[in-house]
Amino acid sequence: MSKVKGSRILLRHRDIPKLDKLDVYLEDGGFESFKKAVTKMKPDKVTEIVKDSGLRGRGGAGFPTGVKWSFIDANNWPHYVVANADESEPGTFKDREIMEQNPYQFFEGVMLSAYAIQANDAYIYLRGEFWDLAHELDKKIKKLEKSGYLGKKLFGTDYSLNLYTHLGAGAYICGEETALLESMEGKLGQPRLRPPFPPSFGLFGKPTVVNNVETLANVPLIIEKGAKWYRKFGTERSPGTKVFSLSGNVNKPGNYELPLASTFRELIFKHGGGIPDGHAIKAIMAAGASSSLIVANDEALDTPMDYESVQNVGGMLGSASVIVIDETVDISWLVNKTVHFFKHESCGKCTPCREGVFWMSHLTERIDNGSGSREDIVLLQDVANNIQGKCLCALGDFSTQAVVTGIERFPEDFKAKVSPNQAARIKINE
């Protein structure tokens, strides 16, 4: 039986030394779930248990994993599983730790997912920068092939499974699942119009399940210990644990695996050791650069970090990449930084995002360097409002979150940076 200490389901390598070695993983009960599934369980049963566990996608959207698997089109074959290991959201570094240090549990999750939808080929799409990691994973896949956990007719059954890595080459947009599929097909990483969704039209036009690394890493223990066990952690609607990537102005940045619905205060002050140099906390971004800026008051700090509650304080849990911002940070500088990121990463497909993000960056740049006017703030808000809801994927909307909430919730930071009257602007332009 796989050992679980406290609430560490995914970062178990911190409790079990050398869990990244196959023999250690096997000794801990590794691949028992996969073997049990392939030899004794109907594929639908695997999906049903995952559905019952209430596991939700950890990549950001929070969609119920088992439900996604059940959407797979059973009249169109072959099926594919693609693990999304493109981890590129500023502030997110959890999948990397899982793949580096608990890789076999992640593999087993991919393999269980593949069995559940009867895919014979599964791919892991890694961002190109995870170069060393991808080569390590390739070696480990070879080991699994040699040990009979991957390949033809597994455990004497008719089920066969191959696992491959595929390296991206530096594009944030490829974390969006349909852009990722396009990229895997050797095209520009640009999102597709949906519907159809990947479970009916995915990789090479075939039914495909795309899941985040962390999501998949949950599956082996859910199959081993059951849905009821998994639901001991977290809440009714957000069950399980979550790896929170903590970064920014905090004493001990890093990954912390906690039950969903732990509070921001617990994460930032108890685990993260609080804010350096005795500064006060000013704002929180709960889902990386894509998030809205949450004013870090007592109400926000005591908010449980689950999918529903974070929305109540004007944010989103997303991938749970918590960026801490202290009182020394000028929010107009920060917004310029996030807009710069999205300007660089916009794929160019949808006009409102492609043009709007460039326009926003002109404005945020001008405001940040002190040559903006009050009107620029109004215009910036207007451009952001006109990007929202008008693009094929979420990147457009993401680019506006910090802009809109920054201006709304920290207006003094913007006002302090711009000239009080328009005349000053005209002078600068001359």
Partner 1 sequence: MTALQDKHEKEIKHILAKYPTDEKRSAVMPLLYIAQRKAGYVTKQDMLEIAELLSISTTEVASIVGFYTLYHDKSGGKYRIQVCNDLPCALRGSGQFLEELCENLGVQVGETSSDGILSVEAVMCLAACDKAPMFQVQSHSDISYHENQTVESALQTIEKWRAEETDK
| Beta carbons of 61 and 84 less than 8 angstroms apart | no
Nearest to partner 1 of 123, 233 (CB atom): 123
Alpha carbons 203 and 243: distance in angstroms, whole number? 28
Token couple for 417 = 């940076």
Look up residue 283 and give its DSSP letter.
Answer: E
Nearest to partner 1 of 179, 216 (CB atom): 179
Query: CB 246 → partner 1: shortest distance, Å?
Result: 7
Contact residue for partner 1 among 33, 105, 183, 332 (CB under 8 A): 183
Query: CB 251 → partner 1: shortest distance, Å?
Result: 11
The pairing of beta strand 208-212 with beta strand 254-259: unpaired
| Beta carbons of 410 and 331 less than 8 angstroms apart | yes
Nearest to partner 1 of 50, 285 (CB atom): 285
Nearest to partner 1 of 185, 236 (CB atom): 185
Nearest to partner 1 of 231, 271 (CB atom): 271
Look up residue 195 and give its DSSP letter.
Answer: S
Site string for partner 1, 75-114 (x = CB under 8 A): ------------xxxxxxx-xx------------------
Using CB under 8 A as the binding rule, the residues of this chain from 121 to 180 that contact partner 1 are 123, 127-132, 164, 166-172
| Beta carbons of 206 and 197 less than 8 angstroms apart | no
Contact residue for partner 1 among 189, 259, 315, 318 (CB under 8 A): 189
- Among 250, 222, 207, smallest CA distance to 118 is for 207
Burial-class residue 280 by CB neighbours within 10 Å (0-12, 13-18, 19+).
exposed
Using CB under 8 A as the binding rule, the residues of this chain from 213 to 242 that contact partner 1 are none
Token couple for 316 = 């989103």
Nearest to partner 1 of 257, 345 (CB atom): 345
Nearest to partner 1 of 97, 224 (CB atom): 97
Alpha carbons 398 and 346: distance in angstroms, whole number? 11
Query: CB 30 → partner 1: shortest distance, Å?
Result: 25
Nearest to partner 1 of 60, 304 (CB atom): 60
The size of the interface with partner 1 (CB under 8 A), counted in residues, is 53
Using CB under 8 A as the binding rule, the residues of this chain from 246 to 285 that contact partner 1 are 246-249, 253-255
Using CB under 8 A as the binding rule, the residues of this chain from 327 to 346 that contact partner 1 are 329, 334, 337-338, 341, 344-345
Say how many Å lie between the first and final Cα of the chain, rounded. Answer: 73
Alpha carbons 39 and 33: distance in angstroms, whole number? 10
Alpha carbons 418 and 150: distance in angstroms, whole number? 61
Coil, strand or helix at 85: strand
Q: By the criterion CB under 8 A, which residues form the site for partner 1?
A: 87-93, 95-96, 123, 127-132, 164, 166-172, 183-189, 204, 245-249, 253-255, 289, 321, 323-325, 329, 334, 337-338, 341, 344-345, 347
